[in-house]
Amino acid sequence: MTDAVEIRAARPEDAGELLRFVRLLAVYEKLEHTVVADAATIARHMFGPRPAAEAALAEIDGRNVGFALFFSTFSTFACAPGLYLEDLYVEEEMRGRGIGKALISWGARLAVERGCARYQWSVLDWNVPARDFYKSLGATETPEWIGVRLEGEALARLAAKG
Protein backbone atom coordinates (compact mmCIF):
# COMPACT_ATOMS: atom_id res chain seq x y z
CA MET A 1 0.00 0.00 0.00
CA THR A 2 1.00 3.62 -0.05
CA ASP A 3 0.74 6.70 2.10
CA ALA A 4 -2.77 8.12 2.40
CA VAL A 5 -4.24 8.99 -0.98
CA GLU A 6 -6.37 12.13 -1.04
CA ILE A 7 -8.82 12.56 -3.90
CA ARG A 8 -10.11 16.04 -4.59
CA ALA A 9 -11.99 17.89 -7.29
CA ALA A 10 -9.74 19.73 -9.71
CA ARG A 11 -9.75 23.53 -9.55
CA PRO A 12 -8.97 26.16 -12.22
CA GLU A 13 -5.40 26.50 -10.98
CA ASP A 14 -4.91 22.77 -11.73
CA ALA A 15 -5.19 23.22 -15.51
CA GLY A 16 -1.44 22.78 -15.99
CA GLU A 17 -1.39 19.60 -13.91
CA LEU A 18 -4.36 18.22 -15.83
CA LEU A 19 -2.49 18.90 -19.06
CA ARG A 20 0.55 17.05 -17.68
CA PHE A 21 -1.61 13.99 -17.00
CA VAL A 22 -3.29 14.22 -20.40
CA ARG A 23 0.14 14.15 -22.03
CA LEU A 24 1.31 11.23 -19.89
CA LEU A 25 -1.84 9.29 -20.76
CA ALA A 26 -1.34 10.04 -24.46
CA VAL A 27 2.21 8.70 -24.31
CA TYR A 28 0.98 5.53 -22.57
CA GLU A 29 -1.71 5.04 -25.22
CA LYS A 30 0.75 5.82 -28.04
CA LEU A 31 -1.41 8.80 -29.03
CA GLU A 32 0.82 11.74 -28.07
CA HIS A 33 0.70 12.98 -31.68
CA THR A 34 -3.03 13.69 -31.24
CA VAL A 35 -2.82 16.00 -28.21
CA VAL A 36 -3.73 19.59 -29.09
CA ALA A 37 -4.85 20.62 -25.60
CA ASP A 38 -3.06 23.30 -23.64
CA ALA A 39 -3.64 24.69 -20.16
CA ALA A 40 -5.77 27.55 -21.52
CA THR A 41 -8.18 25.25 -23.38
CA ILE A 42 -8.43 22.98 -20.37
CA ALA A 43 -9.22 25.97 -18.16
CA ARG A 44 -11.81 27.29 -20.62
CA HIS A 45 -13.62 23.99 -21.22
CA MET A 46 -13.47 22.63 -17.69
CA PHE A 47 -13.75 25.73 -15.53
CA GLY A 48 -15.38 28.31 -17.79
CA PRO A 49 -19.01 29.46 -17.81
CA ARG A 50 -20.27 26.14 -19.25
CA PRO A 51 -17.96 23.34 -18.07
CA ALA A 52 -17.91 20.36 -20.41
CA ALA A 53 -16.10 18.06 -18.00
CA GLU A 54 -14.74 17.82 -14.49
CA ALA A 55 -11.75 16.08 -13.00
CA ALA A 56 -10.41 14.64 -9.79
CA LEU A 57 -6.78 14.60 -8.74
CA ALA A 58 -5.13 11.99 -6.57
CA GLU A 59 -2.55 13.41 -4.16
CA ILE A 60 -0.02 11.78 -1.88
CA ASP A 61 1.82 14.11 0.49
CA GLY A 62 0.61 17.08 -1.56
CA ARG A 63 1.96 15.71 -4.86
CA ASN A 64 -0.43 14.89 -7.71
CA VAL A 65 0.04 11.28 -8.78
CA GLY A 66 -3.06 10.61 -10.89
CA PHE A 67 -6.25 12.01 -12.33
CA ALA A 68 -9.68 11.06 -13.61
CA LEU A 69 -11.78 13.12 -15.98
CA PHE A 70 -15.58 12.78 -16.11
CA PHE A 71 -18.56 14.22 -17.94
CA SER A 72 -22.33 13.84 -17.67
CA THR A 73 -24.37 11.66 -20.00
CA PHE A 74 -28.03 10.78 -20.23
CA SER A 75 -29.75 7.42 -20.76
CA THR A 76 -32.99 7.71 -22.69
CA PHE A 77 -34.04 4.16 -21.73
CA ALA A 78 -33.40 4.67 -18.02
CA CYS A 79 -34.50 8.32 -18.30
CA ALA A 80 -31.70 9.20 -15.91
CA PRO A 81 -28.32 10.89 -15.96
CA GLY A 82 -25.09 8.96 -16.19
CA LEU A 83 -21.44 9.66 -15.57
CA TYR A 84 -18.78 8.86 -18.13
CA LEU A 85 -15.17 8.35 -17.11
CA GLU A 86 -13.28 9.74 -20.10
CA ASP A 87 -9.75 9.32 -18.79
CA LEU A 88 -7.95 7.73 -15.87
CA TYR A 89 -4.20 7.88 -15.36
CA VAL A 90 -1.89 7.05 -12.48
CA GLU A 91 1.83 7.70 -12.71
CA GLU A 92 3.59 4.47 -13.63
CA GLU A 93 5.68 4.21 -10.46
CA MET A 94 2.55 4.70 -8.33
CA ARG A 95 0.44 1.93 -9.91
CA GLY A 96 -0.67 -1.04 -7.84
CA ARG A 97 -1.18 1.05 -4.70
CA GLY A 98 -4.93 1.60 -4.85
CA ILE A 99 -4.81 5.05 -6.46
CA GLY A 100 -6.73 4.08 -9.60
CA LYS A 101 -9.34 2.35 -7.47
CA ALA A 102 -9.63 5.46 -5.28
CA LEU A 103 -10.17 7.66 -8.34
CA ILE A 104 -12.78 5.33 -9.82
CA SER A 105 -14.50 5.04 -6.44
CA TRP A 106 -14.61 8.84 -6.19
CA GLY A 107 -16.45 8.91 -9.52
CA ALA A 108 -18.79 6.14 -8.39
CA ARG A 109 -19.75 8.17 -5.30
CA LEU A 110 -20.32 11.20 -7.54
CA ALA A 111 -22.58 9.13 -9.80
CA VAL A 112 -24.59 7.81 -6.84
CA GLU A 113 -24.92 11.30 -5.30
CA ARG A 114 -26.22 12.62 -8.63
CA GLY A 115 -28.75 9.81 -9.08
CA CYS A 116 -27.00 8.39 -12.12
CA ALA A 117 -28.31 5.18 -13.66
CA ARG A 118 -24.83 4.19 -14.81
CA TYR A 119 -21.14 4.94 -14.59
CA GLN A 120 -19.28 3.87 -17.67
CA TRP A 121 -16.08 4.18 -19.65
CA SER A 122 -14.18 2.67 -22.54
CA VAL A 123 -10.86 0.88 -22.56
CA LEU A 124 -8.52 0.15 -25.44
CA ASP A 125 -8.77 -3.48 -26.49
CA TRP A 126 -5.01 -4.02 -26.14
CA ASN A 127 -4.90 -2.65 -22.58
CA VAL A 128 -5.26 -5.99 -20.80
CA PRO A 129 -3.97 -4.75 -17.41
CA ALA A 130 -6.65 -2.05 -17.35
CA ARG A 131 -9.36 -4.45 -18.54
CA ASP A 132 -8.44 -6.91 -15.80
CA PHE A 133 -8.38 -4.11 -13.22
CA TYR A 134 -11.85 -2.90 -14.23
CA LYS A 135 -13.24 -6.44 -14.11
CA SER A 136 -11.81 -6.82 -10.58
CA LEU A 137 -13.97 -3.84 -9.56
CA GLY A 138 -17.10 -5.52 -10.90
CA ALA A 139 -17.26 -3.67 -14.23
CA THR A 140 -18.53 -5.58 -17.23
CA GLU A 141 -17.42 -5.13 -20.82
CA THR A 142 -20.07 -4.38 -23.41
CA PRO A 143 -18.76 -6.01 -26.58
CA GLU A 144 -22.06 -5.53 -28.40
CA TRP A 145 -21.36 -1.79 -28.53
CA ILE A 146 -18.85 -0.43 -31.03
CA GLY A 147 -17.50 3.07 -30.51
CA VAL A 148 -17.98 5.47 -33.40
CA ARG A 149 -17.17 9.13 -33.80
CA LEU A 150 -17.01 12.05 -36.17
CA GLU A 151 -14.08 14.43 -35.96
CA GLY A 152 -12.10 16.89 -38.01
CA GLU A 153 -13.06 17.24 -41.65
CA ALA A 154 -15.81 14.61 -41.48
CA LEU A 155 -17.47 16.45 -38.60
CA ALA A 156 -17.25 19.79 -40.39
CA ARG A 157 -18.60 18.30 -43.62
CA LEU A 158 -21.64 16.78 -41.89
CA ALA A 159 -22.30 19.97 -39.90
CA ALA A 160 -22.27 21.99 -43.12
CA LYS A 161 -24.99 19.76 -44.60
CA GLY A 162 -27.39 20.41 -41.70
Residues labelled as active-site residues = 134
User: Which residues sit opposite 89 in a β-bridge?
Assistant: 67
Cα Rg of the chain (Å, integer):
17
Which residue type occupies 162? Answer: G
Q: In DSSP terms, which residues pair with 120 in a beta bridge?
A: 84
What does the DSSP 8-state code read for residue 3?
S
Contact call for residues 80 and 117 (beta carbons, < 8 A) = yes
